Amino acid sequence: MKLRLLLSLAVVAFAVTRAVSAQAFELGVVAFQMSSETHARVANAVEAAARKKGWDVVVLNSNGTLQTHAEQIENLVQSGVDGIVLAMSKPVEFDAQMQEVKDAGIPLITVMSGASPNALFDIQVNEYAVGSESALYLLGQLGYEGSILTDRFESNVGTRIRGKVLDVVLSENQAVKEVGSHSMARTKSWQEDVRNGMNALIMQNAGNFDGIWASFDGQAFIIDDLLKQQGMQKGDVVLVSTDGGPETFRRIKSPDSMLMATVAIPFEAMGEAAVDAMQKIAVDGAAKETITSGPYLYMQADLVDQSNVDDFIKE
């Protein structure tokens, strides 16, 4: 008897919870790889901003696997969420799934993914501008001559563009030579990939490089630690990267770190912008064009070095 009563209460409580939550706007968020700090920062910012509005949020992680990402988008469509935000997705690979989202009438906003005809727009920074800022900073610090090592990542459109822009800058400034390059290939075990690849490059080119260009900050942290293990000190080598974040700013300020500068991408602001846009379009009924007329909503990325890092740490 007691058990029956308890079970009945549990069912009623569950049904009430579902009924209450069913009134709120439901947002589905899929991050391509939560083990990557930037993906997590976007997803967490979206979740926080949505919860602040009283929305229900389900955050999913694709573990860096294409099929898992596809399945999670499909599952969100089936669950009937009111809106979807994808962080660091791939519009070409997931063309079919994004089409399903559109066909289901669910507004879709992507962040740092690239434009898709099936999404409202993609929240981005101008990667060409970001790439030129970090490349020119590095060359400026070297006085436009010397040797550099690079750590690239070709699988992500943003990091690939940064690398291509670096190549353009180097082609115009031929007194700076790229004496070694590692290209990160693995997405699931990328830290190990960077550690092994860059360790070999640093050993092979010991004493023969003045700067290192990393395609994103996660790589730069590993490189920074490798350089410290080699006994290097701040100023021995100019290390630049892109992304920003508390750990990056701490290293830029630290007297022990080789990291000199980053181009800080406002991942948290991007997540918040996605939620704000979802509110305006999906809840308030505003036209997409009131937010951006094109396939992108661009946000500002700032170069951060010793001169202004305190401003960012304060934030």
Partner 1 sequence: MRDFIAKYGTALAGLLVFVFLLVFARNFASTANLLNVLKQTSFLAILATGFTFALLTSELDLSFANLASLAAVVTGGLIAGGTFWGLAVVAGLGVATLGGLVNGLLVTGVKVPSLIATLGTAAIANGLTFMMTGGVAFVGRWDPMFLALARGELFGIPVLVIVMVAVVFSAWFVTRKTRLGTHMLATGEAQEAAHRAGIATRRMKLIGLTLSGFAAGIAAVLLVANLSSASPQMAGDYLLNGIAAVLLGMTMFEPGRPNIAGTFVGALIISVLANGLVLLGAPYYLQDIMLGVIVIASVSVSASVLKKAAFSV
Binding site for partner 1 (CB under 8 A): 14, 18, 21-22, 26, 34, 56, 58-61, 63-68, 70-72, 74-76, 78-80, 90, 92-96, 153-155, 183-188
| Cα(34)–Cα(207) distance, integer angstroms | 36
Three-class SS state of 109 = strand
Which residue, 34 or 109, has its beta carbon nearer to partner 1? 34
Task: Supply the minimum distance, in Å, between the C-beta of residue 59 and partner 1.
Answer: 6
Cβ burial, residue 264 (10 Å; 0-12/13-18/19+): buried
CA distances from 253 to 41, 156, 235, 315 (A): 21, 28, 13, 15
Which is it for the CA torsion 210, 216, 222, 224, positive or negative?
positive
- Give the rounded distance of the alpha carbon of 104 from its chain centre: 27
Nearer to partner 1, 129 or 157 (CB): 157
Min CB(50)–partner 1 separation in Å: 12
Q: How far is the CB of 74 from partner 1 (least distance, A)?
A: 6
Shortest gap between Cβ of 65 and partner 1 (angstroms)? 4
Query: Smaller CB distance to partner 1: residue 75 or 308?
Result: 75
Question: Nearest distance from residue 115's CB to partner 1, in Å?
Answer: 15
**Of 62, 64, 65, 110, which Cα lies nearest the Cα of 83?**
110
Please say which residue, 93 or 311, places its beta carbon nearer to partner 1: 93
Give whichever of 182 and 234 is closer to partner 1, judged by the CB atom.
Answer: 182
Assess contact for 83 and 107: CB atoms under 8 A. yes
